[in-house]
Structure 1
Amino acid sequence: MKGYWYLIPVSVTLGVLTKSQMNYWLLGLFLIWILYLYHKQRLGIFPILISLIASLFFTWYIPSPTQLENTAPHLPDKKEHQMTGKIISPIDEKSHSIQFLLKDNSHDNTVQVVYFNGKHNTASTSGRIHSLKYGATCEIKGIMEVPDQPTNPGQFNYRQYLFGQGIHYQIIVNQLSDLKCSGSGYMHRFYKLRDMLTTYVVTNTSESTSAWLSAIVFGDDSFLPKDTIELFRRWSLSHLLAISGLHVGLVLALLYFILIRLLGLTKENAQWTILLFLPIYAVLAGGEPSVIRASAMGFVFIAINKLHMKWSVSDVLSFIFILLVLVDKYIIYHVGFQFSFLVTFGILLSQKWLLQDGFSLFQMLKLSFISQLIILPLYFTYFFTFQPLSILLNMIIVPYFSFFLIPSLFILFILSPIKLIAAILSSLINVLQEYMLAMITYIDNSFSTSLSLGPLPLSITVIYYVIFFLLMKNLHYKNLTKAFGYGILLVAVLVSGAIKPYVSNVGYITMLDIGQGDAFVVELPHRKGVVLIDAGASFSFDSGEPTEKVYTQVIKPYLLSRGINKIDAIFLSHEDTDHNGSLSFIIDEFKVGAIIVSQFYELGKQEIDSLNKLGVELLRLNENTAVTIGGESFTILGPKKDRASSNSNSLVIYGRLGGKGWLFTGDIGVEEEKNILQEFPGLEVDVLKVAHHGSNTSTDDEFIRKLQPEYALISAGKNNRYGHPTQEVIDRLEKYDTTILRTDQDGAVQFRFKKDKEGTFYRQSP
């Protein structure tokens, strides 16, 4: 198998994809490929047999998320449970929660234990927290549940995320007295040491320095501002915040220098010291897959060197892949594991091309290019969007981190007891970090050209990687003409994904489930226009201001998953937060053509100035006027006059889409409904957006009787405190055989249509 160990990780990956996607053609293609290599006498029968056996074994051994969901124990809703088990993870203690994993003794299942809103200020409480240790045996009482499924397209699937880690359910603990733990495991000492070192860093360095020290040295980015983490993610720089091969390599080089040059150890003793250090550092650095992979590779290379064995880098990487998957069969679903191995594999695949120019800026550009290109399909799968200019930005930022920031932070940590030197170095780091962040922020504000495609289909992803492999192969052998051709093909694959909405004759109207609020997204066929009708948000009970939760968890993921970068117009029915609260977040990140409101909509000077600064047109439309977007007409039916109430002054919009008449009513009341019937007696409405979330102040019997809508859409929060929709409204709609679709029961509701042909409604929740 020497030189062919890479076949096993490939076969394992294809087996897992086959199992999770139910696409058996992948294994068929793999079989054809290895038989072709055998026919060409480039592969022996033994590697083929080992690869096939490994594929079958790991396909059986690694459960798919669907299997995990089906094998999770049935739980009565919201019932209190008691269990005994052992803590098998570090304790994640934050200001608002405590979390850890527990191995349940009775079912041998992994459970996530969560305690919210802990205020740790009593002696008994402090004692209970200190009893939470890795390896401790615990008796726990709490509400056991399986996390809800996402109710919107593109929304993060937390249930699948937990299942992908082998976590079957959560137990929510209401009070710390329901946590009774004792004892600890051997690994607790290392996690305790990590906590002590992190506390030492936070206590003895400035807030900014300690945040970067914790992230870079110990793999804990919780002290970094959320805006910084998001900025790095947006520009594909997140790998610099996660301890990876780059960090571990620099740590080993620094440690080797100290051991040999400063402490005078022999090379033999220095290597033994590093072998002992690497497993400990992997734990101290957080134990993420990327640091485990890098530490394991360093360990294996030193070990085989001492044993006078010769293994190729690809064989070592493959061996570690197999070992980690055998130890933890769920690790293959970890995003960090996938990114780490994929980038390393891409670099190995292109190492000869990378080394052709020696050390140079061009080499750094090539390294950045390969690293970004190899993970691109995964990036679209998990984040829906990519910044092409991140390739160039990585070329600038990676050397800065490699040659200054990472070494400086490790040196600062080592020299932190020497206050004067530590203060000088800390000040230098803070100044340069401010300049670095200012530069990235400037680029983000001035040159952001994000490419949003949404997840690529599996078939397109496979084609992408086949072309990528051929591109690297031809670069390796300096067949530049062929390489250029494959590069063009690679771009064509991405372009095909980008233009798909523009060649598709399918349109979508989606009522997003944002809880107690309205948010509709209209996508016209051939992407002729994208329109939002309201963009609500939740609000903070402390300040009364809109929060970004709805935007970041529902609206933004949906838009990006659909490949939407530009919104032609946003209709705002009225000023209430549950209808307009996400507007400021949207216009900050998306290009918006126009905001359309009624003549009575109140906008402050600051809001108007913000729209003008961003180049967003503000349109105030009167009753019985229309605006055309992407060839479709949207007619305003109200308000006719100022009724001195934001709800009553709601913008009422009518349009014909997918062969149906749509009426969006905001939060109007019975009087406004009567006015619409009087002013527009021949109105044909097939789909009614029920006013005010189904409140009994709207949806009068006469209104429904005269309009006779085929469908009624109700946007209401699950178990909301207002009792929406009321039973009266439900009864009225059912009286006239109207099909009711509501977000609190159906999740997001999507209507798919082709041009003027009648479409079909789909529920997100079963």
Structure 2
Amino acid sequence: MSFNHHQRQLRLEPRENATLRLQVQPDQIDLVGNQLRLTGKLPNHAKVTAIYFLNDPQEINRFTSVSTTVNLMIVGDISEPLQSTNINEFDRRRYDEQSGILNTIKINEVQRITPVKAARFSAIILNGCHVARYRAVQASNQLPGSLKTYYQGLVLGARNQNFYEQLSGVKQLGLIHLFSISGLHVTLFMAIVERSLTVLKRSKRLIEWLLLGLLPLYFIFTGGATGLLRAILMAEHRLLANRLGFKVESIDNFGLTLLICTLIQPALLMQFGNQLSFGLAFCLLFLNDVSFIKQTLLMNLVSLPFILFHVFEWHVLSLLSNLLVLPLFSVVIFPLTFIGGVMGLKFQLIAQFVNVLIGWFNDCLNGIATLPGMITFGKPPLEGLVIVFVLTLILIGQRGRTGWIKLTILASYVVMFMGIHLPMNGEVTYFDIGQGDCFLVREPFNRSVSMIDTGGRLNFKTPGFRKVTARSRAETITINYLKSKGIAHLDGLYLSHKDADHTGDTPVVLRNLRVDHVYVPKGMQQNPDFLKRVKGLISTNRIMPLQAGNQPAYSPFKVVHPFKPGLGENGDSMVLYCEMGNLSWLFTGDLDRDGEREIIRQYPGLKVDVLKLGHHGSKTSSDPEVLKQLSPKVGIISAGRKNRYGHPNEETLATLAKLRIPYFNTQVDGMITYTFRNHQTGSWKTFLKENR
């Protein structure tokens, strides 16, 4: 039976209000605010993820008290995992499918929770490991700050919601691989077991047999990451070879491990972490006889293509950080974390002392990461990365003259960098950020790069639940896309008005990108709520108020609204006009019909080719008479799926149909992009149509 056929058998057909029994391990239940998130198995052994929105704070105890393997009898809506809708956005559906998760369930009701009594020995052991891990994570929540984060990440393979924020320096300096439980951790685990049993005067033969049984349990206990599976299988092969009296070559061990891992998870090498894990492990086989400095340099060179393809940027201090931190980490930080975590649960003084030391270490890394040196490279073409990766492998294997290889690698990176940073194409892109607006307008060769609005979440707090700050869509979608294009600088950020779905992510954009000026509708620069949002992120003299008739220097936009100062309400929306790619464009914010009519009174000859429909297609905008005068060839609707406002309104869609105005809608089209070259008409692409 093929893997794909097996997947089709496990996949459930989407349906609503299905009654299902779901087996869940206690360490796979996560409560975030009022959202219960979990991973479990159906009776046919299909893995699913599920989410349940709690309405009553009293329900919290019902789930936080689950400390053993349970069956949940639920009623829920079955669907496929969410698909990405923007270029270079994290694709949850693909990632879940590669991990064997083929369905998502939105739980409407949890009817009952019953403990599972396993009958088979293997199930008893499996469930016992998950229970032990759950209890270890719960106990470690008592640990202070930095020690808790390091202990849970390094020893238990558990990461909380703020993991990447707390370890921002580790991430930016390319050290996050240290928190992927793999070879280093297996080596230390085996050393602890061996030394402990040697002290008890147990024979080497017995110790090796015990390790053969303990390593799979360690795999389950630490979260079961694929990188860890690789390290454990390679260790198991060596132990088994020792016990059976034959020698296994390292390259054969690696090949057998890769084969087994691929059989278990066929899409293994499609994931960034696995690419790094196996790529670095493979190259290490050929670097045992070189100095530590040269080994670190070559390992960084090996990892660079993978980092640029997935992360798009690289810090010049990464190499130095690896040289300094790797020895310190394995000799000091990891053992200190382990001792502090284990003993700190009983002796608070030890926990506080270790927490201070680890806190200093983490603050030092965060400080180094803030130093200049972050290069936003962009996403190179896959073909180019394959070439530099192969050349790097040749460099590792070559023992003679390697000057030409080094020069070719350097030249390849320079050519890719220039191609990304001096693109011949310009673009106008409407991001799919849910209910909100965010657009990119970029001229060829990046002569000007502008963003209109930032999007932002509309937070509707559930009373009685702790507020949770999720990663913004600006980080996961828009900034991610910009960095994939090598863009870390905006000439102008244009904010149409103050509403959170247009400007809520302004702080995130200002923290992650260099912005020359922020342009707002006149009067909004005095709005206290807006000023509070951007305080400390940009000087007030770079916040430029605009009104109709203004056109900032070197800006592609002419302002056609507002005509008088306001506070940034819908009716004060800044409306921008530009000509680009042989088309004329109008971006209207949330302007209402009165404002639209005022524009055509003041600009009676105004015509546009592309119109961003006001207020997400609401009936309060898109006046039929205004649309007749503007006579757009294309309309754009930016609105969230299943939004609570019913955008776009049926009345607006009927008006478009009557006037025969075709339109794109981010709800169904995802990210919408118009690309063009100088003085040439371009072409339209919609992400979901291109990626069905």
Alignment of 1:276-675 (within 5 A): 276-352=213-289, 354=290, 357=291, 363=292, 365-413=293-341, 415=343, 419=346, 422-454=347-379, 456-474=380-398, 477=399, 479=400, 482-542=401-461, 548-603=471-526, 604=528, 610-612=536-538, 617-629=542-554, 633-642=556-565, 646-675=569-598
Cα 1:458/1:709, change in 2 over 3 Å: same
Q: Percent identity?
A: 25
Say whether the 8 Å CA contact 1:141–1:178 is kept in structure 2: no
Partner residue in 2 for 1:220 = 158
Partner residue in 2 for 1:56 = none
Say whether the 8 Å CA contact 2:164–2:171 is kept in structure 1: no
Following superposition, the deviation at residue 512 of structure 1 comes to 1.0
Deviations 1:196-249 (A, max 9, x none): 33334334x435433322222222223864412444333221122221211221
User: 5+ unaligned residues in a row in structure 1: which ranges?
Assistant: 1-59, 358-362
Following superposition, the deviation at residue 618 of structure 1 comes to 2.5
**Aligned letter for 1:473?**
G
**Aligned letter for 1:489?**
T
Q: Is the counterpart of residue 146 in structure 1 residue 80 in structure 2?
A: yes
Say whether the 8 Å CA contact 1:304–1:310 is kept in structure 2: yes
Cα 1:121/1:430, change in 2 over 3 Å: same
Partner residue in 1 for 2:185 = 247
Following superposition, the deviation at residue 113 of structure 1 comes to 4.0
Cα 1:568/1:764, change in 2 over 3 Å: same
Cα 1:499/1:307, change in 2 over 3 Å: same
Q: Is the counterpart of residue 169 in structure 1 residue 99 in structure 2?
A: no
Alignment of 1:88-99 (within 5 A): 91-95=28-32, 96-99=35-38
Cα 1:140/1:675, change in 2 over 3 Å: closer
Please give the alpha-carbon distance, in whole angstroms, between the structure 1 residues aligned to 2:74 and 2:620: 47
DSSP-derived class of the 1:177 partner: strand
Please give the alpha-carbon distance, in whole angstroms, between the structure 1 residues aligned to 2:570 and 2:20: 50
Following superposition, the deviation at residue 374 of structure 1 comes to 1.8
Cα 1:413/1:531, change in 2 over 3 Å: closer
Please give the alpha-carbon distance, in whole angstroms, between the structure 2 residues aligned to 1:259 and 1:452: 50
Deviations 1:569-614 (A, max 9, x none): 111111221211111111101111211123222344556752445x
Please give the alpha-carbon distance, in whole angstroms, between the structure 2 residues aligned to 1:428 and 1:367: 34
DSSP-derived class of the 2:565 partner: coil
Please give the alpha-carbon distance, in whole angstroms, between the structure 2 residues aligned to 1:612 and 1:85: 50
Say whether the 8 Å CA contact 1:68–1:163 is kept in structure 2: no
Say whether the 8 Å CA contact 2:585–2:608 is kept in structure 1: yes
Please give the alpha-carbon distance, in whole angstroms, between the structure 1 residues aligned to 2:246 and 2:541: 65
Cα 1:82/1:548, change in 2 over 3 Å: closer
Cα 1:492/1:69, change in 2 over 3 Å: farther
Following superposition, the deviation at residue 687 of structure 1 comes to 0.8
Following superposition, the deviation at residue 299 of structure 1 comes to 2.5
Cα 1:548/1:213, change in 2 over 3 Å: closer
Following superposition, the deviation at residue 640 of structure 1 comes to 1.7
Following superposition, the deviation at residue 344 of structure 1 comes to 0.7
Q: Which is further off, 211-220 or 598-607?
A: 598-607
Cα 1:546/1:265, change in 2 over 3 Å: closer
**Aligned letter for 2:252?**
D
Q: How many pairs were matched up? A: 675
Deviations 1:425-474 (A, max 9, x none): 433321221211221222222224133312x4332232122111121122
Cα 1:759/1:692, change in 2 over 3 Å: same
Higher relative contact order (CA 8 A, sep 6+): 2
Following superposition, the deviation at residue 158 of structure 1 comes to 1.0
DSSP-derived class of the 2:516 partner: strand
DSSP-derived class of the 2:524 partner: coil
Cα 1:710/1:389, change in 2 over 3 Å: same
The two structures have a TM-score, normalised by structure 2, of: 0.89
Say whether the 8 Å CA contact 2:596–2:626 is kept in structure 1: yes
Say whether the 8 Å CA contact 2:18–2:78 is kept in structure 1: yes
Cα 1:708/1:412, change in 2 over 3 Å: closer
**Aligned letter for 1:517?**
G
**Aligned letter for 2:430?**
M
Following superposition, the deviation at residue 90 of structure 1 comes to 5.8
Please give the alpha-carbon distance, in whole angstroms, between the structure 2 residues aligned to 1:337 and 1:117: 35
Q: Is the counterpart of residue 746 in structure 1 residue 669 in structure 2?
A: yes
Say whether the 8 Å CA contact 1:61–1:329 is kept in structure 2: no
Please give the alpha-carbon distance, in whole angstroms, between the structure 1 residues aligned to 2:31 and 2:673: 38
Say whether the 8 Å CA contact 1:288–1:336 is kept in structure 2: no
Say whether the 8 Å CA contact 1:472–1:483 is kept in structure 2: no
Following superposition, the deviation at residue 132 of structure 1 comes to 3.5
Following superposition, the deviation at residue 323 of structure 1 comes to 2.0
DSSP-derived class of the 1:487 partner: helix
Following superposition, the deviation at residue 127 of structure 1 comes to 11
Say whether the 8 Å CA contact 1:259–1:270 is kept in structure 2: yes
Partner residue in 1 for 2:637 = 714
Partner residue in 1 for 2:196 = 258
**Aligned letter for 1:483?**
T
Please give the alpha-carbon distance, in whole angstroms, between the structure 2 residues aligned to 1:700 and 1:345: 63
Following superposition, the deviation at residue 709 of structure 1 comes to 0.9
Q: Which is further off, 299-308 or 391-400?
A: 299-308
Q: Is the counterpart of residue 210 in structure 1 residue 210 in structure 2?
A: no
Cα 1:449/1:209, change in 2 over 3 Å: closer
Deviations 1:714-735 (A, max 9, x none): 2122222223222222222332
Q: Which is further off, 327-336 or 341-350?
A: 327-336
Cα 1:90/1:322, change in 2 over 3 Å: farther
Deviations 1:386-409 (A, max 9, x none): 323212112222222211111123
Cα 1:265/1:132, change in 2 over 3 Å: closer
Following superposition, the deviation at residue 520 of structure 1 comes to 0.6
Please give the alpha-carbon distance, in whole angstroms, between the structure 2 residues aligned to 1:152 and 1:208: 35
Please give the alpha-carbon distance, in whole angstroms, between the structure 1 residues aligned to 2:667 and 2:269: 34
Say whether the 8 Å CA contact 1:211–1:223 is kept in structure 2: no
Please give the alpha-carbon distance, in whole angstroms, between the structure 2 residues aligned to 1:607 and 1:111: 39
Q: Which is further off, 590-599 or 368-377?
A: 368-377
DSSP-derived class of the 1:713 partner: strand
Cα 1:181/1:332, change in 2 over 3 Å: farther
Please give the alpha-carbon distance, in whole angstroms, between the structure 2 residues aligned to 1:349 and 1:269: 32
Partner residue in 2 for 1:45 = none
Following superposition, the deviation at residue 547 of structure 1 comes to 6.8
Following superposition, the deviation at residue 764 of structure 1 comes to 1.9
Following superposition, the deviation at residue 258 of structure 1 comes to 3.0
Following superposition, the deviation at residue 670 of structure 1 comes to 2.5
Following superposition, the deviation at residue 345 of structure 1 comes to 0.8
Please give the alpha-carbon distance, in whole angstroms, between the structure 2 residues aligned to 1:257 and 1:297: 21
Q: CA RMSD in A?
A: 3.2
Please give the alpha-carbon distance, in whole angstroms, between the structure 2 residues aligned to 1:350 and 1:731: 67
Please give the alpha-carbon distance, in whole angstroms, between the structure 2 residues aligned to 1:223 and 1:565: 26
Please give the alpha-carbon distance, in whole angstroms, between the structure 2 residues aligned to 1:463 and 1:127: 51
Partner residue in 1 for 2:626 = 703
Cα 1:702/1:490, change in 2 over 3 Å: same
